[in-house]
């Protein structure tokens, strides 16, 4: 079983490994049901999805009919205006077969112009706050990619008291001194304010480049179990973060296996060895 810890100020005892819903977005309902059963086997009690994850919400909703009470359910809105975000949220409630979403997140809020729209008057954030007041959602978070995301999340937290953040965290990304500095500043603020920190791209090894894309990930990912163990254990070695699983269903059992036997964080020398052997490069520069 995978250990649990409090998901920030929510007090929910979430599995430290969170299921990334894109993994069921491009497969049939029968296949998705089999994938989702793995969550029960490993004690995963937290699902994170989004309307933009292909058919993910449509696959998760029917399965949740029998399991809703056992999961903290998170989804996102990628629209930037009040009305569009409100409509998208209500669509997700319907698709996920639920009356309440535990965590609704402003999705990929990095671009400055989009940030100003979403966070300003008549923006998406107003729709999420209204939904919280109406009891349709319980908590509000923000997510993003790119090198600038940690800095942008700090700005978001200055504007609004978000309950969670989500951003990339892996060994190659943290070798970028600018990203590492901003990530550590963000982590410090989140710890002080008891904001949950979710991390993505644990298995990212760089762009696909000339390699044929054979996984449902838009980046080249580690696939060997020993390599996955090392990457997952490095992330979990930061005790104040959660790890969101990869977008490819075939990688899920390997990630859950790695997370289930985490004990110690690999050394920098071990991570450098992995980076050299697998030609790992930062996904965002």
Domain boundaries, the chain: 4-201+234-247
Q: For the segment 210-253, what is each residue's pLDDT rounded down to a tens digit? A: 888 988 898 999 999 999 999 999 999 999 999 999 999 999 99
- Which pLDDT belongs to residue 229? 98
C-alpha span between 166 and 149 (Å, rounded): 9
pTM of the predicted structure, to 2 decimals: 0.97
pLDDT band with cut points at 50, 70 and 90 for residue 285: confident
- Which pLDDT belongs to residue 211? 86
**CB–CB of 32/64 below 8 Å?**
no
pLDDT band with cut points at 50, 70 and 90 for residue 183: very high
Reference 79, options 133, 128, 112; nearest CA is 128
**What is the domain class of 4-201+234-247 according to CATH?**
alpha beta
**Radius of gyration of the CA atoms of the chain, in A:** 18
Has residue 283 got a pLDDT over 90?
no
Across the range 15-40, mean pLDDT stands at 98
Q: For the segment 186-218, what is each residue's pLDDT rounded down to a tens digit? A: 999 999 999 999 999 999 999 998 888 988 898
Has residue 160 got a pLDDT over 90?
yes
- Which pLDDT belongs to residue 150? 98
- How much is the mean pLDDT over the chain? 97
Q: In the chain, pLDDT over 90 holds for what percent of residues?
A: 94
Has residue 1 got a pLDDT over 90?
no
Who contacts 152 (Cβ-Cβ below 8 Å, separation ≥6)? 109, 110, 115, 144
pLDDT band with cut points at 50, 70 and 90 for residue 59: very high
pLDDT band with cut points at 50, 70 and 90 for residue 33: very high
**CB–CB of 173/238 below 8 Å?**
no
- Which pLDDT belongs to residue 210? 84
Q: For the segment 88-135, what is each residue's pLDDT rounded down to a tens digit? A: 999 999 999 999 999 999 999 999 999 999 999 999 999 999 999 999
């Amino acid at each position: 079983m995978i250990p649990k810890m409090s998901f920030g100020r929510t007090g929910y005892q979430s599995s430290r490994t969170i299921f990334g819903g894109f993994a069921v977005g491009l497969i049939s309902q029968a296949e998705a049901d089999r994938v989702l059963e793995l969550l029960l086997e490993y004690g995963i009690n937290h699902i994170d999805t989004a309307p933009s994850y292909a058919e993910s919400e449509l696959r998760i909703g029917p399965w949740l009919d029998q399991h809703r009470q056992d999961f903290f359910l998170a989804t996102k809105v990628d629209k930037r205006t009040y009305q569009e975000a409100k409509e998208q949220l209500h669509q997700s409630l319907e698709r996920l077969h639920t009356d309440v979403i535990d965590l609704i997140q402003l999705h990929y809020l990095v671009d400055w112009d989009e940030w100003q729209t979403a966070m300003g008057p008549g923006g998406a954030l107003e729709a999420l706050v209204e939904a919280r007041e109406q009891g349709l959602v319980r908590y509000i978070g923000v997510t993003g990619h790119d090198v600038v995301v940690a800095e942008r999340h700090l700005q978001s937290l200055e504007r609004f008291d978000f309950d969670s953040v989500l951003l990339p965290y892996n060994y190659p990304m943290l070798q970028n001194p600018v990203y590492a500095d901003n990530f550590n500043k963000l982590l410090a603020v989140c710890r002080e304010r008891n904001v949950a920190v979710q991390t993505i791209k644990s298995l990212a090894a760089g762009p696909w480049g000339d390699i044929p894309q054979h996984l449902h990930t838009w980046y080249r990912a580690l696939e060997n179990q020993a390599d996955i163990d090392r990457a997952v254990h490095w992330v979990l070695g930061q005790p104040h973060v959660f790890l969101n699983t990869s977008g490819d269903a075939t990688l899920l059992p390997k990630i859950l296996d790695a997370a289930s036997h985490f004990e110690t964080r690999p050394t920098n020398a071990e991570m450098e060895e992995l980076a050299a052997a697998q030609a790992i490069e930062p996904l965002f520069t």
